[in-house]
Amino acid sequence: MIEFSSIRKEGLSVQIANAIRTAIIDGHLVVEERLPSEAELSERFEVSRSTVREALKRLAAQNLIRSERGSSGGAFVNRITHDEAQESLVTTLRLMIGMNNIAFEEAIESRFTLESACLGLAANRRSDDDLADLRAELQHQRSGSISDEDFCASDVAFHSIIGRSTGNPLLAFQMAGAVEAMQPLMNMLVYRLRDRQRITDLHAAIADALEAKDADAAWQHLEALASYTRELADQRRAPRLNGPKVGNGAAPEPASV
Amino acid sequence: MIEFSSIRKEGLSVQIANAIRTAIIDGHLVVEERLPSEAELSERFEVSRSTVREALKRLAAQNLIRSERGSSGGAFVNRITHDEAQESLVTTLRLMIGMNNIAFEEAIESRFTLESACLGLAANRRSDDDLADLRAELQHQRSGSISDEDFCASDVAFHSIIGRSTGNPLLAFQMAGAVEAMQPLMNMLVYRLRDRQRITDLHAAIADALEAKDADAAWQHLEALASYTRELADQRRAPRLNGPKVGNGAAPEPASV
DNA sequence: AAACATTTAATTGTCAGACATTTATACTTT
DNA sequence: AAAGTATAAATGTCTGACAATTAAATGTTT
């Protein structure tokens, strides 16, 4: 184990959390290594066990460590899973969108910009498996019986697969995170049946272009999809201007479609 | 305030944290709203104060809430600042890179792919202020006296400004996060003086292209920068194969396959 | 009456010690 | 040898107390 230097100002638990976090990120504590027990840490830092615990909870919330109970238990440096990382990414992006006056148009633009960058790579690299996955989602979307929620989920999946098709796990990660983070926004759009049809057709066109490894065509159809999304967003807003004032603004969900 | 439904399995503090987190993300608790005091929460959830505290610490670690002391203190739903969000993004990306076998090439590709997407927008939208900021960083990079660390920091700043030049705060956010997250990787590259010169020249070429609003030229120079970065990375690795064993071995680890 | 000082109340931060729960290991019994 | 049992070590939770901080109420002086 390493020596933690002593502590001075600001909340004790915060300082302890920072000390350990730094040790992890700087690599002094490697993945799966076990930290000293809470009792030992509290002696080492000369604080009570509760204080150490609060520090550990902070780190656990960031997925940096994981606590196991029992005789050979303790706190271990966590090998973060892809899912945990993605959840964390999504949370961060959503907070960023929700609390920093990000306009709907900006969010859409950011997402489609990222996706169009992915498309360039995906068109050259997509595997047959990727293509099959895309087709599977398309079929799902075409089945008229699925709910709005399922349609949106399938939409998220479709675009995540495009990210995956780049063959670059980091790009796939960012792409999937962005798409999922914006799902609540997309959910606000009313998907009438006709809209679904149009969207699914554009998805199909993109899949075709990827199959043909035709990046230009893929871009063109993605651009069409982006415009159409903006159009739907405008439609949803414009009529309201003359209509009755919207009660909440947050939860649209017009009764039934 | 809202009613929290009662709790059953899994760690109590985790459940409580989840309950409150959900309330925040779903908008039942709005920004700057004050949560009940720890004492009240512990009554409401029928757990001890320590348990509630650990839950709150978890949320605080995710920047979801902030605790203030004193008479009118308490836990408040946090309006996350841009910097906090970015720090969180950077941490997540770094964990993802460090713990999920992301190759150097993949990281570089992801970063330059994102940046090239930004360049297209930035070429049309960059303000004169953005341009001035880019020039300022260039001048800084040209002053031969700065340290390696400062050079890297300026490099990060330069590319973040490109993200900002898109005029899209969300893209800027993602771009800055990606660049900063990869700084440790870039730092591994030895920057000889000649390298710096070359890099700065390419930066200047990009800035010129942005000034001329010439997206194609900007892409071309960014591509050159990407290639050069890959080249440096290769140089750094290849000679080692015949040389003495590397002390640390933090990155490679092909030892056993 | 206004400015300043003091007390008070509410709230989070920390501490200490106890008990409950979980889990691996060592031991005992069959 | 296998199965069951005790044991020890660790985290999870509870309880109650005190310290530190802050805002507001209260009191005091000019």
The CATH number of the domain holding residue A172 is 1.20.120.530
Q: B114 and B59 in one domain?
A: no
The phi and psi torsions of A190 (rounded to 5 degrees) equal -80, 120
Is the confidence at residue B138, as pLDDT, over 80?
yes
User: Given B55, B77, B99, which residue is the final one in a domain?
Assistant: B77
Q: A203 and A186 in one domain?
A: yes
User: Given B60, B77, B94, which residue is the final one in a domain?
Assistant: B77
Does some domain include residue B5? no
- Extended strands (E) in A115-219: none
Q: How far apart are CA B113 and CA B233, in angstroms?
A: 18
Q: Do A96 and B53 touch (CB under 8 A)?
A: no
Judge contact between B89 and B177, C-beta under 8 A. Answer: yes
Query: Scanning every residue of chain A, which has its alpha carbon at the shortest distance from the alpha carbon of B54?
Result: A54
Q: B123 and B70 in one domain?
A: no
Q: How confident is the model at residue A250 (pLDDT cuts 50, 70, 90)?
A: very low
User: Given A77, A100, A127, which residue is the final one in a domain?
Assistant: A77
Nearest Cα to Cα of residue B133 among B99, B93, B176: B176
Does some domain include residue A218? yes
Q: A89 and A64 in one domain?
A: no
Residue with tokens 């399995």: B9
Does some domain include residue B252? no
Q: B162 and B45 in one domain?
A: no
- Extended strands (E) in chain A: 65-68, 74-77
Q: A44 and A96 in one domain?
A: no
- Residue A43: give the domain boundaries: 12-77
Provide the number of CB pairs (under 8 Å) joining chain A to chain B: 139
- Extended strands (E) in B10-169: 65-68, 74-77
Q: How confident is the model at residue B191 (pLDDT cuts 50, 70, 90)?
A: low
On the 0-12 / 13-18 / 19+ scale of CB atoms within 10 A, B35 is buried
Rounded to 5°, angle at Cα B168 from B162 and B170: 100
Whether CB of B72 is under 7 Å from strand D: the answer is yes
CA B72 → C1' D22, Å?
7
In this complex, which of B60, B92, B110 lies closest to A85 when CB atoms are compared? B92
pLDDT at B245: 37
Q: Do B25 and A173 touch (CB under 8 A)?
A: no
Q: Count how many domains chain A has.
A: 2
Q: B183 and B95 in one domain?
A: yes
Is the confidence at residue A245, as pLDDT, over 50?
no
Q: A124 and A203 in one domain?
A: yes
Is the confidence at residue B194, as pLDDT, over 90?
no
Strands B74-77 and B65-68: antiparallel
Q: CATH number, domain at B35?
A: 1.10.10.10
Q: How far apart are CA A216 and CA A221, in angstroms?
A: 9
Least confident of A8-17, A70-79, B71-80, B128-137: A8-17
* Average confidence (pLDDT) over B122-134: 97
Does some domain include residue B92? yes
Query: Scanning every residue of chain A, which has its alpha carbon at the shortest distance from the alpha carbon of B30?
Result: A99
Q: B113 and B224 in one domain?
A: yes
Q: How confident is the model at residue B146 (pLDDT cuts 50, 70, 90)?
A: confident
Q: A99 and A68 in one domain?
A: no
Judge contact between B76 and B66, C-beta under 8 A. Answer: yes
Does some domain include residue B162? yes
Q: How far apart are CA A214 and CA A62, in angstroms?
A: 41
The phi and psi torsions of A76 (rounded to 5 degrees) equal -120, 145
Does some domain include residue B215? yes
Q: B162 and B63 in one domain?
A: no
Does some domain include residue A35? yes
- What is the DSSP code (8-state) at residue A241? G
